[in-house]
Amino acid sequence: MEEIEIKTVLQVYDSFLELPKDVQGLMKQAVFVRDKAYAPYSKFLVGAAILLENGEVVLGNNQENACYPSGLCAERTAVYYAGANFPDVAIVSIVISAKSLQEVLTTPTPPCGSCRQAIAEYESKQNSPITIYFMGEKGKVVKSSSLANLLPFVFDNSYL
Ligand code: THU
């Protein structure tokens, strides 16, 4: 028997203001689109701003549905838009902000497992890392310099 140890290293910024200026700009766009999310059921709004290699920025937010499972997270809304409209352009970074209408969210909100799996597909397709930044409404911002840090032991097309 052997053990496999998996180590993940993330960077934590104390606040939005500590981020590099270009990332601040993306976070502002994530916040802008977050506040337009359609989330009448959870009252939990999420926005994602994706920077593409060609400088284009793609925005997405969560879209809920009366049939709850038919809704979609912000990250996948944005990443699938990027995949649909810029299929040959690599994703450089995804910047995420979440806000609850019920409390002030100060905990950085990571992408859910399904979104991690979806983003992993693009990281593997483009063969270069995608940097992820995520925050709540206020407070600390977490940076992961690759999606792989957030989803070790990923199932990808090498298993097919
Ligand atoms: N949500 C996202 O948009 N992204 C995530 O990574 C986590 C959850 C959305 C889905 C749902 O509309 C609401 O947040 C509450 O789960």
Q: How confident is the model at residue 106 (pLDDT cuts 50, 70, 90)?
A: very high
Question: In angstroms, how far is CA 65 from the centroid of its own chain?
Answer: 21
Q: How many whole angstroms from 46 Cα to the centroid of ligand 1?
A: 6
- Residue 103 among the catalytic residues: no
Out of 18, 53, 75, 121, pick the active-site residue. Answer: 75
Residue whose Cα lies nearest atom 1 of ligand 1: it is 73
Question: In angstroms, how far is CA 78 from the centroid of its own chain?
Answer: 9
**Closest Cα to residue 115, out of 128, 99, 98, 103?**
98
* pTM of this structure: 0.97
Span 40-53, pLDDT tens digits: 999 999 999 999 99
pLDDT at 138: 97
**Closest Cα to residue 135, out of 8, 5, 26?**
26
Q: How confident is the model at residue 39 (pLDDT cuts 50, 70, 90)?
A: very high
Q: How many whole angstroms from 62 Cα to the centroid of ligand 1?
A: 6
Alpha-carbon torsion angle 46, 27, 143, 130, nearest 10 = 90
For residue 46, the ligand 1 atom closest to its alpha carbon is 3
